[in-house]
Amino acid sequence: MVLIRAKDAAKMTQKEREEKLKDLRMELVRGSVTANRANAKTKEIKRAISRLMTCQESSSRKRILEHAQETKKSASAGFSTFNKSSKEALNKK
């Protein structure tokens, strides 16, 4: 049986996950051709595929959120600097 836990999927790199997904999909196709109906093995393969895909989605969401937060911080830092310099310019007059 193909058993992939969420912890194991999270530890994998992006490339490892893609390779594993490719292998699991091929195994699922081979199993579907030989069996007329879904059995325990095909169900477990489908579960493993969904775990890997979920892990990929969550890691990409984390990267997007981190990037958005960094952009937000840099934008707000620039804005506060602008406000300080404008206040200084006004005080000089």
End-to-end CA distance of the chain: 78
Whether 2 and 10 have beta carbons less than 8 Å apart is answered as no
The confidence score (pLDDT) of residue 20 equals: 92
Name the pTM for this structure: 0.61
| pLDDT tens, residue order, the chain (93 aa) | 567 888 888 888 889 999 999 999 998 888 877 766 668 888 888 999 999 999 888 888 888 888 888 887 776 665 555 555 555 666 665
CA distance 67 to 45: 33
> Exposed, middle or buried, 42 (CB in 10 Å: 0-12/13-18/19+)?
middle
